[in-house]
């Protein structure tokens, strides 16, 4: 269906050298978009780009630190090509008892998960506003709504992403931008490798999730393509949960 076709559009995906970011970049490319991969590790980034190019995808790379506001602005402005779609995917996890959580770890987590979405979102939105259109997709989490022991700061960061998304939509919808979020449940990714390898946690997850399993990163692609396409032209400020039903069930 042409309403989902992304041909002729360019998408920047942060944190896209592996995991969810890489999967979303591949999905956007399959829907017709040219993609711009981002990470700090230029070598790993180029390896992912080459793998995608081998499938026929049109791929550029931008290696910059999403937590450095000046570096973000310089990279986006220096790129020189219009960005029609932004996926703010870069993120990190740090686990530990809240009463012992180091302030430095809290600050680093917030810079990576929240500040980055603001820095990159603002830098890219300026060009979108000038052109009168654009799609911003922030990656939230099941922890946007739910908490688990040992990850309170992460939960706070993902709650902030949902509300930042609402704020982006409120400020920028009048300029033709659609700003939404995707909230993944528990997916088998490098970020969750320790949990995937834990039989006790996996058993708990299978019982807790109505779908009865971990998610596969490819199962996030449809939501991303939808929000990046004309099919979502009147969707704004929304957080779309892709979680196997975990937030719907006690």
Total number of domains constituting the chain = 1
Among 249, 230, 206, which Cα is nearest to 5's?
230
- Give residue 64's Cα distance to chain centre: 16
Q: What is the pLDDT of residue 91?
A: 95
pLDDT (mean) for 210-233: 98
Structural domain range at position 16: 2-248
- Encoding tokens for residue 113? 């998960």
- What CATH number is given to the structural domain containing 211? 3.40.50.720
Which range is least confidently modeled, 40-44, 66-70, 223-227?
A: 40-44
Q: What is the DSSP secondary-structure string of 178-238?
A: EEEEEEE-SB-SGGGHHHHT-HHHHHHHHHHSTT-S-B-GGGGHHHHHHHHSGGGTT--S-
Condensed to tens digits (0 to 9), the pLDDT of residues 10-39 reads 999 999 999 999 999 999 999 999 999 999
Q: What is the pLDDT of residue 196?
A: 93
Q: What is the pLDDT of residue 172?
A: 98
Q: At residue 1, does pLDDT exceed 90?
A: no
Give the three-state DSSP class for 10: strand
pLDDT (mean) for 48-74: 98
**Whose structure tokens read 């791929």?**
59
d(CA 171, CA 167): 6
Q: Diameter of the chain by CA atoms?
A: 52
Condensed to tens digits (0 to 9), the pLDDT of residues 183-205 reads 999 999 887 888 999 999 999 99
Instruction: Please tell me what DSSP assigns to residue 245.
Output: T
pLDDT (mean) for 31-53: 97
Average pLDDT score over the chain: 97
pLDDT (mean) for 93-114: 97
Contact 101, 149 (CB under 8 A): no
Condensed to tens digits (0 to 9), the pLDDT of residues 85-95 reads 999 999 999 99
Q: What is the pLDDT of residue 190?
A: 83
Q: What is the pLDDT of residue 191?
A: 79
pLDDT over 90 percentage in the chain: 96
Which pTM was predicted?
A: 0.97
d(CA 188, CA 190): 7
The catalytic residues are 154
Q: What is the pLDDT of residue 90?
A: 96
Q: What is the pLDDT of residue 138?
A: 98
CA dihedral sign, ordered 14, 68, 172, 77:
negative
């Amino acid at each position: 269906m042409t309403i989902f076709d992304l041909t002729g559009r360019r998408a920047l995906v942060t944190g896209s050298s592996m995991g969810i970011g890489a999967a979303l970049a591949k999905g956007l490319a399959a829907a017709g978009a040219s993609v711009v991969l981002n990470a700090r590790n230029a070598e790993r980034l180029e390896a992912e780009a080459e793998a995608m190019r081998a499938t026929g995808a049109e791929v550029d790379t931008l290696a910059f630190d999403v937590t450095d506001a000046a570096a973000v602005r310089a990279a986006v402005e220096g790129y020189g090509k219009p960005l029609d779609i932004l996926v703010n995917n870069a993120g990190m996890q740090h686990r530990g008892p809240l009463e012992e959580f180091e302030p430095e770890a809290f600050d680093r987590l917030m810079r990576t998960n929240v500040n980055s979405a603001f820095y990159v979102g603002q830098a890219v939105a300026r060009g979108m506003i000038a052109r009168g259109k654009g799609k911003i997709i922030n990656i939230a989490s099941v922890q946007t709504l739910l908490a688990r022991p040992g990850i309170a700061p992460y939960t706070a960061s993902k709650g902030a992403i949902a509300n930042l998304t609402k704020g982006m939509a409120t400020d920028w919808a009048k300029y033709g931008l659609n700003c939404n979020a995707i909230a993944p449940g528990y997916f088998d990714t490098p970020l969750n490798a320790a949990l995937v390898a834990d039989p006790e946690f996996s058993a708990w997850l299978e019982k807790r999730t109505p779908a009865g399993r971990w998610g596969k990163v490819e199962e996030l692609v449809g939501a991303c393509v939808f929000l990046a396409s004309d099919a979502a032209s009147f969707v704004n400020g929304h957080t779309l949960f892709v979680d196997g039903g975990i937030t719907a069930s006690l």
